[in-house]
Structure 1
Amino acid sequence: MGRPLLIGLTSPYFGAVFGGGEKYLGVTAEAVRDGFPGNVVEIAGAVPADRERYEATLNLDLHGIQLVANNRRVTPVHRLANRLTPLRPLRNRVLASQAARATARYDVHLAMAYRIPVHTRAQRAAILCQFPYASREGVAEFERVICQSEYVRHWVRELWGRDAAVVHPPVDLPAGGPEAAAKRPLILSVGRFFEGGHSKRHEVMVEAFRGLCEDGLEGWQLHLVGSVHEEGPHAGYFERVKARARGYPIRIHTDLSHQDLEHLYRSASVYWHAAGFGAEGGPPEALEHFGLTVAEAMAHATVPVVYPGGGVAEVVHDKEDGFHWRDPRELAEVTLRLVADADLRRRVGAEAWRSARRFGRAEFKRRMLEALRPLVEPASGE
């Protein structure tokens, strides 16, 4: 038996961002720790990570996993680079260079890739691709590419000329079956508050709900949940959303614990998703890469009503386990049908619950280990 391997997972966003990409990375680390025991597993980010906050917010179990950072703290220089858009390319170069230098000590390297090019000096390495960046910089240094959806796989082929294994993001499946009695007159949407990229388009949903209320909808609430980005081009976005929501039965929650978010998922009758609306024909990364929160809502028998751009169309099958909409008028029409028909909500919600089983955490770990085994097992024998 050889020495323990050092298996490193890297992301320039881990430590600063609490989103689907960070959950994907964290559960991958869990899978590696449990599936390849006896090795050392670490997650490396650009800045120090709050272990307890990551575990509470994203429902992660990071025991036995080392968390390291390429920078000891967030400095005024970091904040300036985040705020000033012209400095972003320079910041990205610095982050990529820092990450690459640290990978020389890894036996196996798993690099999360989104926007910032990735490099490796490890002997064996794979890219965990949220979405491929436009250049092919660094890609040839990696043996394998693993991505989150068939939509992303298509663009990996187009932009990088590589094939990829698809491992859908992990969904936390609640114990037991659908809880119809727990449902309330509540519409939910979960997603970070930021502008540009694959923005969650909260303003579209707020305007749609305002219109429903002005047309006579009573007794229903819209709840928006997500962490807030306040730097750079995102400054002011959250405040604009709040301003448009004021005076209507719209609740906005920031940085909820996993437990509180689970309560909202259980209580919500309808789930709205608007990411990608208005972005067709633009950069492909502006469409939803997968739709993790949609699948999480479905796991709680909440009926998804989604804009089917990007990977979301793989998650929700129109008029089977949810509904698609193409413009805000259709979003309002479908929602009013669901509001008026409790039996329809129960039937489609139950089908959504069944459909979400394919995205469970155990299935994610099984598929991720299957994709990583050709990388890790040969390294164990070296």
Structure 2
Amino acid sequence: MAQTKRIGLYSPYVPEHAGGGERYFMSVTEILSESHDVTMLLARGGDEQAVREKYEQAFHLDLSRVHFKQTAIGTRASFLTKVLETAQYDVLYYLTDGSLFFSLAKRNILHIQFPFAFVQSGLINRVKLWNWHICNTNSAFTKKIIEQWWKISVPFVHYPYVDSALYVPATKEQIILSVGRFFSGEKSVMHCKRQDIMVKVFRSMVNHGLKGWKLVLIGSIDPGEDNAAYAARVATAAKGYPIKILHNASFDMLKQYYAVSSVYWHAAGFSIDEEKEPTKVEHFGISPLEAMSSEAVPVVVGKGGLKEIVEHGVSGFLWQTEEELTRNTAQLIENHDMMETMGQKARERAKFFSKEQFRKTLEEMIG
């Protein structure tokens, strides 16, 4: 029987955010808590019970065995205070925002979910990198960019998983679905989900005769005036068309939309050169994977981590231009047998990203 370890987990994005990265991080936390003493470290406050409930409800996870506590990491506390705090852990698991710190844990694991295109130069940063014993990324795309820019070896690709028992198909309706937070990307390196492009393309399809179909966009609005303004522009463009926008959908509602939707659109990375701006394309794509498990056929931008999920022409379509998005979608709408077959292939493909494989890789890294 494996020895119980004391494990600390830290992400600078917790507890403010609840996107795909946080879903991954909380999934790691849940699995480790089944057999280890696990503590989630919070640098920005937050009531323990409120944080637990937020992520349990958002991601349908059981975090009841996880401790939550305030940490000096990520604060203005002294270097000594921060580094001594890390010494109490057998394992420290850090989801980085690109920054690094020293840790005295017995084993330090660095998860890199962004394909950061900057150099970790200087002696101190190189020593900090050396301090992290094991590095892993969320996709082969992120791994390639990190190895290229950071000049390190990334031995593990730790793909997020989808629970195929949780995301199951129902009777399909004439719905095109897209799931993703609303943010402009203007003031950050984050990848805008490009709901504006999807609304534009759907409007054009309706104007050219598409009838009976509805576009549903689900996603919260990130804090910030630019993000609110972006969401407002999308809403304005959608007026007068069969387009539904939901900013506060519950998990059950989201799951139901996945189940009944026939097609899934994803436009993050549209018009971006992934070599020049890798952070602005989809690094992995957990929402498309959840849709695929529900037999919604993915029609997604062929960039970044999405190319690792969707097999073009088999379990969905990859596109680069608005014309290709329109044409691929029209093919499915006009051919019910193709839609049904691809939906089934999409669900089979989603099973490759299983919880069992996720757990196996995680246990290998933990040691």
Whether these two folds match at TM > 0.5 is: yes
Aligned partner of 2:88: which letter?
Answer: R
Alignment correspondent of 2:38: 41
1:127 correspondence with 2:121: no
1:32-181 equivalences under 5 Å are: 32-34=32-34, 37=35, 39-47=36-44, 48=46, 50-70=51-71, 102-133=85-116, 134-136=118-120, 137=125, 138-164=128-154, 165-174=156-165, 179=169
- The TM-score normalised by the length of structure 2 is 0.88
Note the residue ranges of structure 2 that are not aligned, 5 or more in a row: none
Which of 299, 306, 329 in structure 1 is aligned with 2:300? 306
Q: 1:293 to 1:282 in 2, by over 3 A?
A: same
Aligned partner of 1:103: which letter?
Answer: T
**Which has the larger displacement, 255-264 or 14-23?**
255-264
Report the alpha carbon displacement of residue 245 of structure 1 after superposing the two structures with TM.
1.3
Task: Describe the superposition over 1:334-357 as per-residue Cα deviations: whole angstroms up to 9, x where unpaired.
Answer: 111111111111011111111110
Alignment correspondent of 1:239: 232
> 1-side partners of 2:241 and 2:334: how far apart?
20
- The TM-score normalised by the length of structure 1 is 0.84
Aligned partner of 2:211: which letter?
Answer: E
Counterpart contact for 1:96–1:119, Cα < 8 Å: no
Aligned partner of 2:197: which letter?
Answer: V
Alignment correspondent of 1:24: 24
Alignment correspondent of 2:198: 205
Task: Describe the superposition over 1:341-378 as per-residue Cα deviations: whole angstroms up to 9, x where unpaired.
Answer: 111110111111111101122321122112222xxxxx
Report the alpha carbon displacement of residue 2 of structure 1 after superposing the two structures with TM.
12
Report the alpha carbon displacement of residue 27 of structure 1 after superposing the two structures with TM.
0.8
Q: 1:357 to 1:4 in 2, by over 3 A?
A: closer
Alignment correspondent of 1:195: 184
Identity across matched positions, percent: 34
Alignment correspondent of 1:260: 253
Aligned partner of 1:227: which letter?
Answer: S
1:340-351 equivalences under 5 Å are: 340-351=334-345
Q: 1:50 to 1:371 in 2, by over 3 A?
A: same
> 2-side partners of 1:272 and 1:32: how far apart?
33
Which of 203, 215, 218 in structure 1 is aligned with 2:211? 218
**Which has the larger displacement, 131-140 or 60-69?**
131-140
Higher helix share: 1
1:357 correspondence with 2:340: no
> 2-side partners of 1:243 and 1:57: how far apart?
28
Counterpart contact for 1:113–1:132, Cα < 8 Å: no
Alignment correspondent of 2:14: 14
> 1-side partners of 2:239 and 2:5: how far apart?
54
> 1-side partners of 2:78 and 2:285: how far apart?
27
Task: Describe the superposition over 1:131-167 as per-residue Cα deviations: whole angstroms up to 9, x where unpaired.
Answer: 2542423322200001111111111211222222011
Report the alpha carbon displacement of residue 212 of structure 1 after superposing the two structures with TM.
0.9
Q: 1:222 to 1:101 in 2, by over 3 A?
A: farther
Query: Pairwise CA RMSD of aligned residues?
Result: 2.5
Counterpart contact for 2:173–2:261, Cα < 8 Å: yes
Report the alpha carbon displacement of residue 315 of structure 1 after superposing the two structures with TM.
0.3
> 2-side partners of 1:306 and 1:99: how far apart?
43
Task: Describe the superposition over 1:53-88 as per-residue Cα deviations: whole angstroms up to 9, x where unpaired.
Answer: 2111111110110123449xxxxxxxxxxxxxxxxx
Counterpart contact for 1:96–1:117, Cα < 8 Å: no
Q: 1:204 to 1:160 in 2, by over 3 A?
A: same
> 2-side partners of 1:118 and 1:198: how far apart?
25
**Which has the larger displacement, 334-343 or 250-259?**
250-259
Secondary structure of the structure 1 residue equivalent to 2:30: helix
